[in-house]
A and B are shown apart, each in its own frame.
Chain A
Amino acid sequence: MKRFLLWGVFIGAILFHTAAESAADWEALKEAAKNLRTVKAEFLQKRFLQILKTPLLSEGRFFFDATGGLRWEYQKPLRSLMLQKGDQIRGYHFADGVWKPDMTQAVEARRLVLGEIRQWIQGRYEESKTFKFLFVPGPPAKVVLTPMEGIAKFINRIEIFISAEPGVIQRVEIEEPGDSRTVIEFRNVEINSRLPAEIFDKP
């Protein structure tokens, strides 16, 4: 549950801020989120662990549709995928040349996470029962998320850095206990572009 909540935080924060029209004004960010229809982006994830000298690198892409679709996909080095369409949530991993359904009990956890994400996308950050937030105008402009009781033993804080380009997030940094952290950098972000309908249906 907790690990999917963290993962959901990444996505929720990304989606909310990619929808923004101005990086410098919190009210403008919230207002811009209301106009969000779709988001498409690529990402590079760097996983820093105390045990490793160099970070684990993962590349992927995600797609979001405000009507209820979400696709979060890792393409390298492991191929894995989470698909949501409406209430239906499915996970896959790629092995032996085919996509295989995940054997996971986390569907309900993912459903809760995605529900929270939708609150954020709609600009209702303050309704989160998981994180307190602070908007820092910068530069660099960023949002700092601090966990409330319960999740605090899994995560110290999250910082979301907003790009100088209006409406685009630059990166997300997640600090965890034990000198571990994750940095996700985004590129080729497209807001409100047309997405293939089947992108949320099948791997």
Chain B
Amino acid sequence: MKRRRQWAIGFLGFLISVSGCASLTEPVLKPGIREDLSGCYTPFPAKSWKAVHQIEAVIQERISSSLIGITEGEPSEQKIHSLLLTPEGFILFEAELREGALSVSKAMPPFDSPAFARGLIEDVALLFLAPQPLPSGWKRGEDGTWTCRWGRPGEARTEVHGSMEQGWKILRRNDQGVLTREVFLNGPFVRGVASHMDLRAFGPAGYKLKMNLLQADF
């Protein structure tokens, strides 16, 4: 049992980097009217932010771990600074993503593999940064919800659906169109930062991250 737990935490980074996919029908979406375009960005903080979240990581539905996540972001620079801490407050991992370039300043085992760093920061970016450049398609439904997509068939793509009132769902697909990540963002939103976030990575090495906002530090 103990060895299985040892294996599990050491494997977390690997899971993030190699987790597989799930199929889900992808609706057709064309460019909508220009006035509705800004709604596609409302799930993401528009200005710089700092946030502290409680994170529960659940791997393969049976093993879980509790962590503290700190993120600092500057959307105009596509920049994210991210830390992972133990509940006791020790820093396990610290990295920065700036315009696609990743630099890791601290990584304690078992969080010290390049694959973990890349996977973690991509998950954080999915939660907090609006995809680039403009959406390839978008629409606003009669119920006031938005559906927006970045990327085209044959490319990795991101789809956003929801509203500030109902919460948001973010889907990430690979270049085959297969779902790899599913995110739910729920309010209240504190300067654009969701108080409750759930991320699910699909596949045989799937995992879930449940995040609750502890502190916003602007």
Stretch binding the partner chain, chosen from B49-57, B123-131, B132-140: B49-57
Q: Chain A interface secondary structure, helix, strand, loop or mixed? A: mixed
- Answer whether A103 and B87 are a contact pair too, CB < 8 Å, given A51-B50, A54-B217, A77-B214: no
Contact A104 B89 (CB under 8 A): no
Contact A180 B64 (CB under 8 A): no
A51 to B73, CA, bound (A): 11
Q: Name the B residues within 8 Å of A45 (CB-CB).
A: 89
Contact B90 A3 (CB under 8 A): yes
Contact B87 A74 (CB under 8 A): yes
Contact A101 B5 (CB under 8 A): yes
Contact A56 B52 (CB under 8 A): yes
CB within 8 Å: A-B pair count = 82
Contact B5 A105 (CB under 8 A): yes
Q: Chain B interface secondary structure, helix, strand, loop or mixed? A: strand
Contact A103 B92 (CB under 8 A): no
A103 to B68, CA, bound (A): 15
Q: Is B9 in contact with chain A by the CB < 8 A criterion?
A: yes
Contact residue among A51, A74, A100 (Cβ-Cβ distance under 8 Å from B88): A74
Contact A102 B83 (CB under 8 A): no
Q: Mark B27-66, 1 if CB is under 8 A from A, else 0.
A: 0000000000000000000000010101010010001111
Contact residue among B5, B56, B108 (Cβ-Cβ distance under 8 Å from A95): B56
Q: Mark B79-99, 1 if CB is under 8 A from A, else 0.
A: 001010111111110000000
A102 to B8, CA, bound (A): 10
Q: Name the B residues within 8 Å of A6 (CB-CB).
A: 90
Contact A2 B108 (CB under 8 A): yes
Q: Name the A residues within 8 Å of B5 (CB-CB).
A: 101-105
The residue on B at minimum CB distance from A176 is: B91
A176 to B9, CA, bound (A): 25
The residue on A at minimum CB distance from B55 is: A78
The residue on A at minimum CB distance from B71 is: A51
Q: Is A80 in contact with chain B by the CB < 8 A criterion?
A: yes
Q: Name the A residues within 8 Å of B215 (CB-CB).
A: 52, 54, 56
Contact B66 A78 (CB under 8 A): yes
The residue on A at minimum CB distance from B72 is: A51
Q: Is B10 in contact with chain A by the CB < 8 A criterion?
A: yes
A51 to B9, CA, bound (A): 26
Contact B63 A7 (CB under 8 A): no
- Answer whether A78 and B87 are a contact pair too, CB < 8 Å, given A51-B72, A53-B217, A107-B2: yes
A3 to B59, CA, bound (A): 23
Contact A95 B66 (CB under 8 A): yes
- Answer whether A93 and B90 are a contact pair too, CB < 8 Å, given A51-B72, A78-B54: no
Q: Is A119 in contact with chain B by the CB < 8 A criterion?
A: no
- Answer whether A52 and B66 are a contact pair too, CB < 8 Å, given A77-B214, A78-B87: no
Contact A7 B90 (CB under 8 A): yes
Q: Is A47 in contact with chain B by the CB < 8 A criterion?
A: yes
Q: Name the B residues within 8 Å of A80 (CB-CB).
A: 66, 87-88
A127 to B10, CA, bound (A): 33
The residue on B at minimum CB distance from A76 is: B214
A72 to B87, CA, bound (A): 12
Q: Is A130 in contact with chain B by the CB < 8 A criterion?
A: no
- Answer whether A105 and B54 are a contact pair too, CB < 8 Å, given A3-B92, A93-B66, A95-B64: no
Q: Can you list 21 A-B contacts (CB < 8 A)?
A: A7-B90, A47-B89, A49-B70, A49-B83, A51-B50, A52-B50, A54-B217, A56-B85, A56-B214, A56-B215, A74-B87, A77-B214, A78-B54, A80-B88, A93-B56, A93-B64, A94-B66, A95-B210, A101-B5, A103-B8, A107-B2
Question: Other CB < 8 Å A-B pairs besides A54-B215, A74-B87, 19 of them?
Answer: A51-B81, A52-B50, A52-B217, A54-B217, A56-B215, A77-B214, A78-B66, A78-B68, A80-B66, A93-B56, A93-B65, A95-B210, A102-B65, A103-B5, A103-B63, A104-B6, A104-B65, A105-B5, A105-B10
Nearest 7 pairs of A and B residues by beta carbon: A93-B66, A3-B90, A105-B6, A80-B87, A47-B89, A103-B5, A103-B8
